[in-house]
Structure 1
C-alpha cells in the first residue's frame, strides 16, 4: 500500500531539499519520489542530505511536467500553505487527508504534490490535483521548509497506514530493549537470593523479603540489557565476598 503513495516535488530549487525530503520519506516507509524539472539534479548536496536515504535519491524519477508525474494517479493532493479560489475539495486537517489517501492507495497509485520553496504551486498546477491540504501552523509564522512539510504529511500517511488492521505493523525493538523471558527473570532472582544469603543480608530464609524484591523488579520491568547489568553487579559483589561466605 505504501508503495502506491508517490511524493512529487515541483521545480525544487535547492538540491539539498531533495535529499532531506528523501530522508523524510524513508523514515515513514515511502520510496516513490518523482522530481518535476528540478533546478539542479543530480547533485552531491542532495546525496549528502539524504543521510541514509541515498537509494531514494538515486532512484528518483525526473520528468518534464507535473502532468507526466501524475498520469497514472487516482487521487492527487496538492500541499498548499494558503487557500486558493479554486473549487477543489480541501483538507483542513492532514490526518483526514492521510486516511483517505491511504484508502485509495490500497488499489491505485496516489500522489502528494509539493511546490517550489518560495512560491509553492501555481494555480495551473493546483488544477491538476484532485484535492488540497494545508498544514495547520502558527498563524503569525506558518512557514515550513519543504522537507519539513514532506515530513509532516509523510508521518500522517504512515500513521494512517499503520492504524489499519491489515497493515500488520509491529514496531521492531532491539533485542536488548525487549522484556526478559521468565527463565531470565528466574535466573536473576536465584542469583539475587544467593548473593543476599552469602553476603549476610539474609541470615535465614526469609520468603517475605524475597517476594517483596521480586515485586519491586516486576514493577520496574527491566529490559534484557538492564537485567544483564544487574546480573553483572551481583557477579562483581560475589567476587568480594569472604571465602567463608561462599
Structure 2
C-alpha cells in the first residue's frame, strides 16, 4: 500500500532538498520518489543530506513534466501554501487527505506533489492534480521548507496507514470500478473540450467553464466504467455535429 504512494518534487532548486525529502520519506515508509526537471541532479549534496536514504535518491526517477510523473495515478494531491482560483477540491485537513490517499493506494498508484521552493506549483501544474491540500500553520509565520512539508504530510500518510481498519485480505477491486488514471481522465477532458467547442457551447480554449467542469468531475470521482459511458455519450454526440 505505501509503495503505491508517490512523492513528486517539481523543479527542485537546491539538490540538498531532494536528499532531505528522501530522508523524510524513508522515515515514514515511503519509497517512490519522482523528480520533475530538477535544476541539479544527481548531486553529492542530495546524497549527503539523504543521511541513510541514499537508496531513494539513487532510485529516484527523473521526468520532463508533471503530467508524465502522475499519468498512471488515480488521485493526485498538490501541496500548496495558498488556495488558488482554480476550483479544485481542497482537503481542509491533512489527515483527511491522508486517509483518502491510503484508501486509493490499496488498489492503484496515487501521488502527493510538491512545487518549487520559492513559489510552489504553477496553475497549469495544479491542473494536473485532482485535489489540493495545505498544512495548517501559524498565520503570522506559516513558512515550511520543502523537506519539512514532505515530512509533515508523509507522517500523516504513515499515521493513516497504521490506523487503517484491519479487514484482513481484501480482494482486488474490479478494474472498471476503480477510479480512472490521470491519463484516462485527461483523454476524457480533451474529448469533452473538443465536443463543447465544435458544438458552439464554448468559443474560447481554456475557458473558465472548462475549469469548473474539471472540478465537477474531480468531486464526482467517476469510476472507469462511468468514464467509459461518458466517453461513449460524447462520441455519439460528436457524430451528429457538422464537420465531425
Structure 2 length-normalised TM: 0.68
State the match for 2:89 in structure 1: 89
Cα separation, 1, equivalents of 2:74 and 2:165: 23
Aligned 8 A contact 1:13 1:117 in 2: yes
Structure 1 length-normalised TM: 0.67
Count of residue correspondences: 168
Structure 1: which 4+ aligned runs deviate by more than 4 Å?
none
State the match for 1:27 in structure 2: 27
Aligned 8 A contact 1:161 1:167 in 2: no
Q: Given the alignment of the two structures, is residue 119 of structure 1 paired with residue 130 of structure 2, yes or no? A: no
Aligned 8 A contact 1:35 1:61 in 2: yes
SS state of the match for residue 104, structure 2?
A: helix
Could you say what the CA RMSD is over the residues aligned between the two structures, in angstroms? 1.1
Q: Summarize the alignment of residues 162-241 of structure 1 with structure 2, pairs less than 5 Å apart.
A: 162-166=162-166
Q: Summarize the alignment of residues 26-175 of structure 1 with structure 2, pairs less than 5 Å apart.
A: 26-166=26-166
SS state of the match for residue 166, structure 2?
A: helix
SS state of the match for residue 78, structure 2?
A: strand
Gaps of 5+ in 2: 169-244
Cα separation, 2, equivalents of 1:127 and 1:90: 13
Larger radius of gyration: 1
Task: Quote the offset at 1:166 in angstroms.
Answer: 3.1
CA change 1:71–1:156 in 2 (3 A) is: same
Task: Quote the offset at 1:92 in angstroms.
Answer: 1.4
Task: Quote the offset at 1:165 in angstroms.
Answer: 3.5
SS state of the match for residue 132, structure 2?
A: strand
